[in-house]
Amino acid sequence: MYTRLKHSVKQLFPPAPTWKVDDIPDQTGRVHVVTGGCAGIGYETVKALLNKNAKVYMAARSRAKSEDAIAKLKTETGHEALFLELDLASLSSVKRSAEELLQKEKEIHVLYDNAGVMFTDPKLLTEDGYDLTFGTNVLGHFYFTQLLLPALLAARARVVIVSSVAMLCFPFTTLNMDILKDGPARDKFNGVTSKYWMYGKSKLANCVHAQELHRRYAKDGLTVISVNPGNIRTDLYQHTAGPLRLVAFDAFMHPPPFGALSSLYSGTAPEAAELGGKFIVPWARVGTPAPKAVDPKVGTQLWTWLEEQVSLYEKSKL
């Protein structure tokens, strides 16, 4: 418990950054895909990449919000991002999105699995019947990444998966899969604190996914890094209220540009090519994840479950 608390505090109160967006090498000719790129940390990630001449796909649910963001970014950077419709809470949307992208790009150099939801109503489910938080943050990103593997492997790409310090702040999180779909176990789990538990569980799973993806594909040239972007003032906190929101915003929140630093470092810094399997914390430093995140048995457990869900979906569409 003490070790978790120590690492949590170190991540919550980081030193001043020593790596900045100006350090990003020129990205001319390189293709980047940012999920959730129309707002918050994703927007700042797209902005920094455009400023370095990257070709950037903004993968997001809302065409209207994305087009507004693209227009704003064009004014700010002189470059234009490309909209890619993607709803991570719908496996059908994930598949359509990946297929569309693969028709356009044979090589993807960096994928940022950045989008997410936090502290949503625990009764909410994805289109396919999974817990909304876990289905969006984990299952949707897993399927999207797997479908894009041909283009990622062709480019010997980097995959940056956004996790959170929440996996350390909620030490009771486990990868109990029984609560992720409707059923008796989920009914018992559906309490006052469930949305906080589930967010911590999803962020632990994001890190586990990154570890296992790197473990399986590093030999093929893939570099996978998970990141804690920091405590950032974004719309993610729209589902918090009262004292928690007051403390979260007033005590140790940072502007969105800070939240993009660790992702951008992981995706573009030459030295980060050697950091596959690592956990990057604010601001662009190697940090310590939860012990479960680096446990190969947990990685196999999560990967097997995710593959089973994708297989069930694909069989249902035959």
- Domains of the chain listed by start with CATH number: 2-316 (3.40.50.720)
So what's the pLDDT on residue 233? 67
Paired tokens of 275: 């950091």
Paired tokens of 4: 């978790």
Residue with tokens 């999180």: 173
CA distances from 173 to 51, 114, 177 (A): 39, 21, 11
So what's the pLDDT on residue 122? 83
Burial zone of 281 (CB within 10 Å; 0-12 exposed, 13-18 middle, 19+ buried): buried
Q: Strand order of the sheet with strand 110-113?
A: 82-85, 55-60, 31-35, 110-113, 158-162, 223-227, 279-281, 285-287
So what's the pLDDT on residue 1? 45
Q: Which residues are catalytic?
A: 163, 199, 203
Averaged over successive runs of 10 residues, the pLDDT of the chain (318 residues) comes to 50 82 98 97 97 98 97 98 98 98 98 93 92 96 98 98 84 71 77 79 95 98 96 58 52 78 98 98 93 93 97 93
